[in-house]
Amino acid sequence: MSQIQYTNRAKPVDRRPLNFIERLYLWNVFIGMFITLKHFFKKKATVQYPEQVREVGTAYRGLHILNRDEEGRERCTACGLCAVACPAEAITMEAAERLEGEEHLYREEKYAAKYEINMLRCIFCGLCEEACPKDAIYLSHTFTPTNYHRKGLIYTKEDLLIPNPKTQPEEYAKAKGLIEEKKKK
């Protein structure tokens, strides 16, 4: 009896009638129980999440970070390219003009007065990161934000901004480590 082989992967189904031992069923149950017993002593695949975190790849796309330059000024100029690129329409922003005396806060003459990302809509595709001409937005390795309210998952500019390297150097270095690691790819 020849079976037609359509692919080289398919294992033809064994349609021979059961022999005596197989019809007894008991022996096959013992074989099955031996297999499950082997699994009983195997190393478990579980990662104990809050305590252990699975290592993510360098290309991993997690929560967004709004970047600052070396002097702690916001890089974002509210050009809106990220919002245009976003397929999920998760980004909202309002632009404002930099006033006299705010040069230490914003890098260019225009800045984002309001910058919101709705994390419920975001699909973490990273197109905003690719669209940004000012190196202002990055996707970090942080993941699974949780909240009890929908409102809490709309991240404002304060939530997204990286710590200021001048006033909070330690926190900045910590956040920066992730970004630099990501840039290396």
Partner 1 sequence: MNIYLLAIDWWFIIEKLVLIALIVTLCLIIAMYETYGERKVAAFIQDRIGPNRAGPFGILQPLADGGKLFFKEEIIPLASSKYLFVLGPTLAMITALLTSAVIPWGTSLEIGDRNVPLQVADVNIGVLYIFAVVSVGVYGIMIGAWSSNNKFSLLSGLRAASQMISYELAMGLALIAVLMMSGSLQMSVIVNKQMSGALGGLGSWNIWYQPLGFLVFFTCALAECNRTPFDLPEAESELNFGYHQEYSSMKLGFYLFAEYINMFMSCILMATLFFGGYDIPFVNESNLAAHIGQNWVALLSFICLLAKAFFLVFVFMWIRWTVPRFRFDQLMHLGWKKLIPLALVNMIITAALILWLKS
Return the residue of 37, 113, 123, 173 that touches partner 1, per CB under 8 A: 37
Q: Rounded to whole angstroms, how far apart are CA atoms 151 and 146?
A: 11
State how far Cα 40 lies from the chain centre.
33
Residue 40 found at the interface with partner 1 (CB under 8 A): yes
Query: What would the two tokens of residue 20 be?
Result: 């005596």
Going by C-alpha positions, the residue among 101, 65, 97 that lies closest to residue 78 is 97
Q: Measured from the CB atom, is 6 or 20 closer to partner 1? A: 20
Tell the smallest beta-carbon distance from residue 43 to partner 1 (Å): 8
Give the nearer residue to partner 1 in terms of CB position, either 2 or 146: 146
Q: Which amino acid is at 119?
A: M
Answer yes or no whether residue 29 interacts with partner 1 by CB under 8 A.
yes
User: CA 163, 185, 139, 89 torsion: positive or negative?
Assistant: positive
Q: Which of 2, 7, 19, 46 binds partner 1 (CB under 8 A)?
A: 46
Q: List all residues 6 or more positions away from 150 whose beta carbon is below 8 Å from its beta carbon.
A: 120
23 near partner 1, judged by CB under 8 A:
no
Piece of 1-9, 37-45, 80-88, 146-154 that binds partner 1 (CB under 8 A): 37-45
Of 44 and 184, the one with the shorter C-beta distance to partner 1 is 44
Q: How many residues does the chain have?
A: 185
Q: Where does this chain bind partner 1 (CB under 8 A)? A: 26, 29, 32-33, 35-37, 39-40, 42-46, 48
